[in-house]
């Protein structure tokens, strides 16, 4: 865990960080994002004391970093930067070995440790005897990550580590970092200016502007509930459409008006169906709206008598959605079911709404119309 308490930074008379207080929970990836010069690197480098603070306190796992020996501190904290910082005149093996030297790692076991790191970051061991220039940018960056992890630090700081990498390799590295994190569970502070990257890799995002924190929240919250107009403009109006996993069934459903109660007679149901656009009714408990079943016009017509209650013949749908299901889940289910509509239930299995072709069209339509307005 990393705690910033009332952190200020001044260069001469100019204050570049204004009273920042924030906590980075243990084992999470937190991205710091914001425009150029807003103070991301400054905030990051204060954690391992590469930049001194003007006032305030930084605690790493409860310990005040300014009460620690800076060399000791830096050994406990992995650091990955855009330029990798690999020594060009040393082989990859030597570059990794150097870190083990610094940590007085016993000679015995070093080969195994180095091999293990190469495996962890998905690099072939054959590369160990090459020089950094003989590796691609993505491979060099993986070595950078291996070097930061080799002494098993609690905290890893990454300053735009993937920004010089081509977009395709960059996406691979982001995926790898996320899955690596599932194994190593480090506290990772990741500086980026790429919102897609931040959304993809982070448990939380700290969005900064000119030395202030505008919003510190989960990617989902930042996308769904931007705290300020600046955050909104920074993420872009339709950003959520790049992350359909954050669009939920409840965002696309419409109210279900075609309800019936279990004791309603089939005759009554048939009359209701005649008065509404849909050819089916959703049967719910009268007071709780708990979902009970579905009935359509064809099912009713097949009955000899229309006196009995609808509960005798109602059927269960093959699938229903729940309010928290993502748009992707919903679309997949609709695709496999070949049904034009889908019921949405809340956490108590009560009917919350219904997703229909027209509600989907409406949602997509407003997205594209909004976008057209922006252009
Ligand atoms: N050594 C310095 N002396 C004076 N001002 C500095 C110094 N280092 C940084 N600054 C200023 O502090 C502010 C924050 O800089 P910082 O490097 O933290 O920005 P950043 O958010 O990392 O930007 P970028 O996205 O361009 O890397 C900037 O206004 C910068 O000009
Ligand atoms: Mg920077």
What would the DSSP string read from start to end of 54-121?
A: SEEEEEETTEEGGGS-HHHHHHHEEEEETT----TTS-HHHHHHHHHHHTT--STTHHHHHHHHHHHT
- Looking at CATH, the fold of the domain delimited by 2-242 is given as Rossmann fold (3.40.50)
54 lines ligand 1 (CB under 6 A): no
Distance, CA of 337 to chain centre: 29
Nearest residue (CA) to ligand 1, atom 30: 37
Residues in the chain: 375
Strand partners, 189: 30, 157
Tell me the Cα Rg of the chain.
28
> Per residue of the chain (375 residues), what is the pLDDT tens digit?
999 999 999 999 999 999 999 999 999 999 999 999 999 999 999 999 999 999 999 999 999 999 999 888 888 898 888 777 899 999 999 999 998 988 888 999 999 999 999 988 889 999 999 999 999 888 998 999 899 888 889 899 999 988 888 888 889 889 989 988 998 899 999 999 889 899 999 999 999 999 999 999 999 999 888 999 999 888 876 677 777 788 889 888 999 989 999 999 999 999 999 999 889 999 999 999 999 999 999 999 999 999 999 999 999 998 899 999 998 888 888 888 777 789 999 999 999 999 988 888 877 776 666 554 444
Strand partners, 265: 309
Note whether 2-242 and 250-363 share their fold.
no
Q: pLDDT at position 227, please? A: 93
Half-sphere exposure of 340 (CA within 13 A, CB side): 6
Q: pLDDT at position 212, please? A: 96
Q: pLDDT at position 240, please? A: 72
160: phi > 0 → left, psi -120 to 50 → alpha, else beta; which? left
Distances (CA, A) of 129 to 94, 132, 281: 8, 10, 70
What residues does the ion ligand 2 have nearby, CB within 5 Å? 41
Distance 219 CA to ligand 1 centre (A): 25
Among candidate residues 234, 47, 252, the one with its CA nearest the CA of residue 153: 47
Q: What's the farthest any 2 CA atoms get from each other in the chain?
A: 90
Nearest residue (CA) to ligand 1, atom 19: 37
11 lines ligand 1 (CB under 6 A): yes
Distance 86 CA to ligand 2 centre (A): 19
Q: Which atom of ligand 1 lies closest to the CA of 39?
A: 18
199 lines ligand 1 (CB under 6 A): no
Distance 24 CA to ligand 1 centre (A): 22
Q: pLDDT at position 58, please? A: 96
Q: pLDDT at position 375, please? A: 41
74 lines ligand 1 (CB under 6 A): no
Hey, CA dihedral for 166, 119, 32, 47, is it positive or negative? negative
Hey, CA dihedral for 99, 101, 105, 107, is it positive or negative? positive
Domain ranges within the chain, ordered by starting residue: 2-242, 250-363
Q: Which ligand is nearest to the CA of 13?
A: 1
Q: For residue 51, what is the DSSP state?
A: S
290: phi > 0 → left, psi -120 to 50 → alpha, else beta; which? beta
39 lines ligand 1 (CB under 6 A): yes
Q: Which class in CATH covers the domain with range 250-363?
A: alpha beta
Indicate the Cα dihedral angle 28, 34, 36, 38, nearest 10°. -90
Nearest residue (CA) to ligand 1, atom 18: 39
Contact 60, 77 (CB under 8 A): yes
Strand partners, 59: 3, 64
40 lines ligand 1 (CB under 6 A): yes
Q: pLDDT at position 374, please? A: 44
CA distance 65 to 57: 8
Strands (E), 161-302: 187-192, 204-209, 212-217, 259-260, 280-284, 291-296
């Amino acid at each position: 865990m990393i705690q910033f308490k009332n952190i200020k930074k001044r260069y001469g008379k100019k204050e570049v960080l204004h009273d920042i207080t924030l906590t980075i929970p243990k084992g999470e990836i937190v991205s710091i994002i914001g425009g150029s010069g807003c103070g991301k690197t400054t905030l990051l480098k204060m954690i391992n004391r590469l930049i001194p603070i003007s006032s305030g306190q930084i605690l790493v796992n409860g310990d005040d970093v300014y009460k620690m020996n800076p060399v000791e501190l830096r050994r406990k904290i992995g650091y990955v930067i855009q330029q990798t910082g690999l020594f060009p005149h040393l082989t990859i093996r030597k570059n990794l070995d150097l870190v083990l030297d610094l940590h007085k790692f016993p000679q015995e076991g070093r080969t195994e440790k180095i091999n293990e790191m190469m495996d962890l970051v998905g690099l072939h061991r054959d590369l160990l005897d090459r020089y950094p220039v003989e590796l691609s940018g993505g491979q060099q960056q993986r070595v950078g990550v291996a070097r930061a992890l080799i002494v098993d630090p609690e905290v890893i700081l990454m300053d735009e580590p993937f920004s010089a990498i081509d977009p395709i390799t960059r996406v691979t590295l982001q995926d790898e970092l996320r899955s690596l994190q599932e194994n190593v569970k480090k506290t990772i502070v990741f500086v980026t200016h790429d919102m897609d990257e931040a959304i993809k890799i982070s448990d939380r995002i700290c969005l900064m502007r000119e030395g202030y924190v505008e919003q510190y929240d989960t990617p989902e919250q930042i996308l769904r509930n931007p705290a300020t107009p600046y955050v909104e403009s920074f993420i872009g109006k339709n950003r959520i459409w790049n992350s359909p996993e954050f669009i939920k069934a409840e965002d696309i459903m419409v109210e279900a008006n075609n309800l019936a109660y279990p004791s309603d007679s089939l005759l009554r149901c048939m009359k209701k169906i005649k008065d509404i656009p849909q050819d089916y009714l959703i049967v719910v408990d009268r007071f709780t709206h708990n979902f009970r079943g579905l009935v359509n016009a064809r099912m009713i017509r097949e009955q000899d008598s229309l006196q009995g209650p609808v509960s005798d013949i109602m059927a269960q749908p093959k699938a229903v959605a729940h309010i928290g299901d993502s748009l992707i889940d919903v679309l997949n289910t609709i695709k496999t079911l070949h049904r034009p509509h889908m019921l949405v239930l809340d956490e108590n299995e009560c009917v919350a709404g219904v997703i229909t072709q027209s509600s989907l069209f409406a949602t997509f339509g407003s997205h594209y119309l909004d976008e057209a307005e922006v252009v």
